[in-house]
A and B are shown apart, each in its own frame.
Chain A
């Protein structure tokens, strides 16, 4: 590099970064648009946020229904308590913040004011797992483990824009509290290729394969599908079972798929190894007496680094390439 040339654009550890690959088909703000659509026919639906409407796509709803939007300020405990109160009065609040704040900061408020009374509060949280390079303050690597422990709470980890659009009306119709991870901004469109239909509480087989069964949720399903395609070129046959509902787990389908002979079972999750989908499925297999070769692709029990998402996903082994390499090594 000589003195006169422009500095190369550095990779970013900014808070907001898209998880979409270059050139991937995406859809803008699927959650916000789906909620606006739902609210046309559901007068009881309201939106609440803690100073993160723009960053959770709730601003789309706020613009369409300003009188049904409640800005609660940067106060997540209040946000959850107020959501409880308005739900007690018959509204169905969709509540947004970042996953770290809902899970770590407001846990007791969700537990006591929402879940204990089984209220119709739908909590949708952006930046799940490792979807920001901003550092541990914003990386919700343990939200599923925490929320799995909460009675009455349904827990969802959607894969893409298609799934988010489909889950919004379903969680509104579900009686009781729901926590869903949220992908915001330009969200990849993946599942349209698979004739997919989200059903609350159901796992779905997206791809058939004879050597390996990957069981995954969230963006790891997208990665698993890509890795499976790559491995097919190496004559490794990988099946993918997508499990968007983390709780209650679809044990029937999981056991049915995992019991088939001759396949390595790999659980892939955008979450710490502790307490998420991997350990949930591992325990269920043991309880059912299904003892198979079992591997986990997940984030380490560590405070993760700041950095650009592609670098971090590579570093922590949740990129498509890293997943494919691990699977080959395990076979």
Chain B
């Protein structure tokens, strides 16, 4: 996708709808999955893959591509949904999600899936790899960006803060970190598991150019990505995205929130209908 193609907000909303739909269809295949997170982050992924990033769907390893590192590997279902929409993974593979011998395992792994740049799962590693990639791209004189997606819960990990310091130390202005704040992690609300706020103050103090936006407002996400890419200072960039788990499926948005939203067997079809209704609204 060439950055010169500026998709309109309406076109990006349609991409986000299709990413959500792909995620729900994959959830239905297994009867489970981190669908709540996928629905929450779909707008951000739509902007990343259809507005911001340079890549070639027919050549996922193209040297000039922007790198996208999924640190929170359990969000793989969300990234697969975007990779399918982007034409990097064929649509027909969707129904293999999480199955034996599939290229789309439940947790994201680099060796399995085209367009998956790292093996996640053990949380808190993506930003450390992103620092190395940022250094490596500068060494080669490449103009590509390294995007890495993290979750609020991952900020509990000490290595994250090693990487936060290091990225600023090395003035990695080719590094854009996206933090998904949905305030849910395995044992409960992230803010109760480990008080992580105030995030903007912390990140600015660590030397990052930081924006905080509603990650479900596509216009705001577009503006934040544009600002992050064009910011003149030699600092790493962070976009903190407050998102709503289950976004786009009202009965999931309001369901009791946990790290893993329960979806009953008959509800996958209802979720697709709810997405469709939202699309036409």
Give every chain B residue within 8 A of A75 (Cβ-Cβ).
Answer: 159, 162, 165-166
Instruction: Check: A78 CB closer than 8 A to any chain B CB.
Output: yes
- Interface readout for A110-124 with B: 1 if CB under 8 Å, 0 if not? 001100110000000
A70-B135, A78-B128, A78-B163 given; A112·B158 CB < 8 A:
no
Asked if A78 and B136 make an inter-chain contact with CB atoms under 8 angstroms apart, the answer reads: no
A81-B125, A113-B125 given; A89·B159 CB < 8 A:
no
Cα distance, A72 to B125, chains bound together (Å): 15
Give every chain B residue within 8 A of A116 (Cβ-Cβ).
Answer: 109-111, 119
What is the CB-to-nearest-CB distance from B177 to chain A, in angstroms, rounded to a whole number? 13
Asked if B110 and A117 make an inter-chain contact with CB atoms under 8 angstroms apart, the answer reads: yes
Q: How many interface contacts (CB-CB < 8 Å) are there between A and B?
A: 95
A88-B129, A89-B137, A89-B139 given; A78·B159 CB < 8 A:
yes
Cα distance, A72 to B129, chains bound together (Å): 12
Asked if B122 and A91 make an inter-chain contact with CB atoms under 8 angstroms apart, the answer reads: no
Partner of B128, one of A46, A81, A89: A81
Instruction: Check: A168 CB closer than 8 A to any chain B CB.
Output: no
Give every chain B residue within 8 A of A113 (Cβ-Cβ).
Answer: 118-119, 125, 128-129
Cα distance, A86 to B111, chains bound together (Å): 17
Asked if B140 and A89 make an inter-chain contact with CB atoms under 8 angstroms apart, the answer reads: yes
Cα distance, A96 to B110, chains bound together (Å): 25
Asked if A81 and B136 make an inter-chain contact with CB atoms under 8 angstroms apart, the answer reads: no
Instruction: Check: B219 CB closer than 8 A to any chain A CB.
Output: no
Cα distance, A181 to B110, chains bound together (Å): 29
Instruction: Check: B106 CB closer than 8 A to any chain A CB.
Output: no
Instruction: Check: A31 CB closer than 8 A to any chain B CB.
Output: no
Partner of A85, one of B109, B111, B134, B162: B134
Q: Which residue of B lies closest to A88 (CB)?
A: B133
Instruction: Check: B169 CB closer than 8 A to any chain A CB.
Output: yes
Cα distance, A177 to B164, chains bound together (Å): 26
Contacts of B189-237 to chain A: CB distance below 8 A: none
- Interface readout for B95-125 with A: 1 if CB under 8 Å, 0 if not? 0000000000000011100000111011001
Most buried by A among B125, B128, B131, B140: B128
Instruction: Check: A219 CB closer than 8 A to any chain B CB.
Output: no
- Interface readout for A95-116 with B: 1 if CB under 8 Å, 0 if not? 0000000000000110011001
Instruction: Check: B132 CB closer than 8 A to any chain A CB.
Output: yes
Cα distance, A75 to B127, chains bound together (Å): 13
Instruction: Check: B130 CB closer than 8 A to any chain A CB.
Output: yes
Asked if A73 and B129 make an inter-chain contact with CB atoms under 8 angstroms apart, the answer reads: no
Give every chain B residue within 8 A of A70 (Cβ-Cβ).
Answer: 135
Asked if B109 and A86 make an inter-chain contact with CB atoms under 8 angstroms apart, the answer reads: no
Cα distance, A90 to B169, chains bound together (Å): 22
Asked if B119 and A77 make an inter-chain contact with CB atoms under 8 angstroms apart, the answer reads: no
What is the CB-to-nearest-CB distance from B126 to chain A, in angstroms, rounded to a whole number? 8
A109-B128, A113-B125 given; A86·B135 CB < 8 A:
yes
Give every chain B residue within 8 A of A91 (Cβ-Cβ).
Answer: 136, 139
A73-B165, A73-B166, A108-B122 given; A85·B129 CB < 8 A:
yes
Asked if A81 and B139 make an inter-chain contact with CB atoms under 8 angstroms apart, the answer reads: no
Partner of A81, one of B163, B165, B169: B163
Instruction: Check: A182 CB closer than 8 A to any chain B CB.
Output: no
Cα distance, A83 to B125, chains bound together (Å): 12
Give every chain A residue within 8 A of B158 (Cβ-Cβ).
Answer: 77
Asked if A84 and B159 make an inter-chain contact with CB atoms under 8 angstroms apart, the answer reads: no
Asked if A78 and B119 make an inter-chain contact with CB atoms under 8 angstroms apart, the answer reads: no
Cα distance, A117 to B131, chains bound together (Å): 17
Q: Which residue of A lies closest to B139 (CB)?
A: A91
- Interface readout for B152-189 with A: 1 if CB under 8 Å, 0 if not? 00000011001101100100000000000000000000
Q: Which residue of B lies closest to A77 (CB)?
A: B159
Cα distance, A90 to B135, chains bound together (Å): 11
Q: Which residue of A lies closest to B136 (CB)?
A: A89
Asked if A88 and B132 make an inter-chain contact with CB atoms under 8 angstroms apart, the answer reads: yes
Cα distance, A82 to B139, chains bound together (Å): 13
Partner of B133, one of A86, A109, A112: A86
Give every chain B residue within 8 A of A46 (Cβ-Cβ).
Answer: 139
Contacts of A26-63 to chain B: CB distance below 8 A: 46
What is the CB-to-nearest-CB distance from B134 to chain A, in angstroms, rounded to a whole number? 7
Cα distance, A86 to B159, chains bound together (Å): 17
Partner of A88, one of B121, B136, B162, B169: B136
A–B pairs, 7, beta carbons within 8 Å: A75-B162, A77-B125, A83-B132, A85-B134, A88-B117, A89-B132, A116-B119
B interface residue numbers (CB < 8 A to A): 109-111, 117-119, 121-122, 125, 127-137, 139-140, 158-159, 162-163, 165-166, 169
A interface residue numbers (CB < 8 A to B): 46, 70, 72-73, 75, 77-78, 80-91, 108-109, 112-113, 116-117
Known: A85-B128, A89-B140. 20 other contacts (CB 8 A): A70-B135, A73-B162, A73-B165, A73-B166, A75-B166, A78-B128, A78-B162, A81-B127, A81-B129, A81-B163, A85-B129, A87-B136, A88-B129, A88-B133, A89-B136, A89-B137, A109-B125, A113-B118, A116-B109, A116-B111
